[in-house]
Structure 1
């Protein structure tokens, strides 16, 4: 039995995904996702999030290349998340059906379990008229992967009210769910705990990170040991959805990158 297999068994519970960017954007672009997916497997992760913006070129986003990457991720004993920076809604609040279709097609090629887009829209929210919602649900119905939208770092696509209004307008079985990013709310000047209380029923995936600094100098960091606020936030979210690590691993003189990744996987699972 491999070390990563032991850690997964001992963990018993929440699945943990390592987001590719946790290894460093430059490292992913230089070495490719498959190289770092192996590091995620060694760390005991259950899944690996492929980031479209970190693919080296457009050729890597073609169906054949994504299928090869998906096969390599699966061979490592991991399942895949496919993340695109594309927004589900245009800047004017209207549905971007083409972006949804492309994300779904690329996720299918990768054989991803989850496909993640940004919400987009305006600071006031997104279109929720019946015709728009029908087109949205028809598009989602074509996806084998779970379709989720993430709260971003801008107020356009990053406010609690925008997500609240969209999910309130959708039927319960719409097929759309949410990636709840614990840190991005701070950039958008929203209260993460209020967001968790209001949006928890719609959350299917959690991006985990703490935030250090203020204003434009904010940056993602690992939650501190005994971080009561972070623990309380997670306690208000579903405990049976995957948690993604989206803060940088920090190797040092006394700890390797692999060792820090393994430590962080265990910590996020245990919070």
Structure 2
């Protein structure tokens, strides 16, 4: 029998308004009831900027840990600015906030990576931090191209920082950038440490995130190409009419898929 995979639920799966209104703790509790092992905190879903203060994050982190869950701290900030330079201030802020939360991962968007990885500067920002940095492929061309991610990991290796950071592979986001998720999985699998699970439904401006069907062979093919040892995050919308039952069913499915 194949070992079960760790599954986290991303806060946004419960609905942005619901998280902003009730706070992250309520949905961390729902994630635990559903059988998840992790919970992803989304900075953009805090109801108040004060929620990102270290003391508040420490309280939330303790609450999540007391539920028996590990956490991901996700920020919409980008690792690289539009000119390709490292955004050291954004990285420092994200690492400090994730550390206060006690997160396993701190997740940023890739942003405007061009050719230099700036590995020494990233290493300096991460020095002494007990959190793993992962960068995610986004829905915009800048920060969502396969070429950029291949270039990033090649650049880190050239600079002697091959293991400095990992990748959050968002299966659905590649569609916004016209990239085959399977092609991306083949190229980037060695660097993937966390998987965001969703598909893209619709077309063009009407494209939206959706849950993969249990018999979606294209989604299954992507998962098969990615390392099974890494956790998977539910980022698609859960059914608000039966949210506990839906979350429980989806966690069990992804853990075994």
TM over 0.5: yes
Q: How does 1:7-86 map to 2 (within 5 A)?
A: 12-86=3-77
> Structure 2 CA distance, aligned partners of 1:65 and 1:187?
35
Residue 114 of structure 1 is matched in structure 2 by 105
Residue 199 of structure 1 is matched in structure 2 by 188
Residue 158 of structure 1 is matched in structure 2 by 144
Give the alignment partner of residue 230 of structure 2, picking from 215, 230, 241. Answer: 241
- 1:126: Cα distance to partner? 2.4
> Structure 1 CA distance, aligned partners of 2:218 and 2:10?
22
Unaligned runs of 5+ in 1: 1-9
> Structure 2 CA distance, aligned partners of 1:140 and 1:17?
24
- 1:12: Cα distance to partner? 4.3
Unaligned runs of 5+ in 2: none
TM-score by length of 2: 0.95
Q: Secondary structure of the residue that 1:204 maps to in structure 2?
A: strand
Indicate the RMSD between aligned Cα atoms, in angstroms.
Answer: 1.4
- 1:211: Cα distance to partner? 1.3
Q: How does 1:252-267 map to 2 (within 5 A)?
A: 252=241, 256-267=242-253
Q: How does 1:95-106 map to 2 (within 5 A)?
A: 95-106=86-97
> Structure 2 CA distance, aligned partners of 1:213 and 1:143?
41
1:174 matched to 2:160: no
| 8 Å Cα contact 1:211/1:220 also seen in 2 | yes
| 8 Å Cα contact 2:7/2:233 also seen in 1 | yes
Q: Secondary structure of the residue that 2:108 maps to in structure 1?
A: strand
How many residues are aligned here?
Answer: 254
Runs of at least 4 residues of structure 1 off by over 3 A?
Answer: none
| 8 Å Cα contact 2:43/2:74 also seen in 1 | yes
Q: Secondary structure of the residue that 2:114 maps to in structure 1?
A: coil
TM-score by length of 1: 0.91
> Structure 2 CA distance, aligned partners of 1:158 and 1:145?
24
| 8 Å Cα contact 2:200/2:209 also seen in 1 | yes
Instruction: Pick closer, same or farther for the CA change 1:141–1:173 going to 2, 3 Å.
Output: farther
